[in-house]
A and B are shown apart, each in its own frame.
Chain A
C-alpha cells in the first residue's frame, strides 16, 4: 500500500450535478496529481498541485478544478457532470514536483454519472 487514501470509494451522481472527491497524500509529500481513468484505458492527467498552487494541467475543461490544503491533502471538484465523466479518478502524491519524481497512486474513486 502506498499510504495515499481517497474518499469516497464509489459515488453515483446524475448529469448536471457537482461532485467533490478527496485525497490524502503520503506523509511528507507536497505534490499531488489527479488522473481520470476511463474503463479499459490508461489514466489521463488532469492537473497537479504543488504547495497549494496548480502548477500543471492536462487537456481538461475548467469545470474540473482542485484545491490543495496546507496539510497537502487535496480535492477534485467537477461541475456540471456529463455522462462521459464516469470513470475511476486517481490521485497520486510525490515527494516534490521535480522531474521524474515517483508518483504513488491511491486506490481511486469510481464515479458513475447517470
Chain B
C-alpha cells in the first residue's frame, strides 16, 4: 500500500516558469514532510522540509505548501532553471525510527 502518492510522474517546464509537484498522504501520524532532489548517479539531497504546524515554508526559489485537512503538500519551484532538472521526491515520516516513506518521484525537465 502506497502511503505517499506523488504527481505528476514527469514534468516539462520552460526556463523561468513555475514547477509544481504534488503529494498526498494517508497516514495521519506523519508529522514531518521533506522534499529531496536527486541527480543521476547521486543520492537524494534534502531541499526543504515542513512540519504540519505551518501551512507554507519558503527557502529561496523553493516553497512548500501544506494542507493538513486535505492531507496534501506541494513543492513550488519559482523561476525554474535548467540546473533544476532532476528527479524530485516527496517523503513523510511519523517517528524517528520509522524511516522516511517516499513518493515515486517526479522527473523534472527545465527547457532552456
A is bound by B? yes
Residues of chain A having any CB pair with chain B under 8 Å:
2, 4, 31, 33, 35, 40-48, 50, 55-56, 58, 90, 92, 96-108
Closest-CB distance, A54 to chain B (whole angstroms): 9
Closest-CB distance, B90 to chain A (whole angstroms): 9
Residues of chain B having any CB pair with chain A under 8 Å:
6, 31-32, 34, 36, 41-46, 49, 51, 89, 91, 93-105
Q: How far is the CA of A23 from the CA of B104 in the complex (A)?
A: 24
Prevailing SS type, chain A contact patch: loop
Q: How far is the CA of A108 from the CA of B88 in the complex (A)?
A: 17
Asked if residues A108 and B43 are in contact (CB atoms below 8 Å), the reply is yes
Asked if residues A42 and B98 are in contact (CB atoms below 8 Å), the reply is no
Closest-CB distance, B91 to chain A (whole angstroms): 8
Known contacts A41-B104, A41-B105, A105-B43; A58/B31 CB under 8 A: no
Asked if residues B97 and A42 are in contact (CB atoms below 8 Å), the reply is no
The 8 Å CB contact of A56, one of B44, B89, B98, B102, is B98
Asked if residues B100 and A50 are in contact (CB atoms below 8 Å), the reply is no
Total cross-chain contacts (CB, 8 A): 77
Prevailing SS type, chain B contact patch: loop
Q: How far is the CA of A100 from the CA of B43 in the complex (A)?
A: 19
Q: How far is the CA of A9 from the CA of B66 in the complex (A)?
A: 37
The interface residues of chain A lying within 8 Å CB-to-CB of B89 are 42-43
Asked if residues B31 and A42 are in contact (CB atoms below 8 Å), the reply is no
Asked if residues B44 and A105 are in contact (CB atoms below 8 Å), the reply is yes
The interface residues of chain B lying within 8 Å CB-to-CB of A101 are 96
Closest-CB distance, A48 to chain B (whole angstroms): 5
8 further A-B pairs in the complex, CB-CB below 8 A; given A43-B100, A101-B96, A105-B45: A2-B43, A2-B45, A90-B44, A99-B95, A100-B93, A105-B44, A108-B42, A108-B43
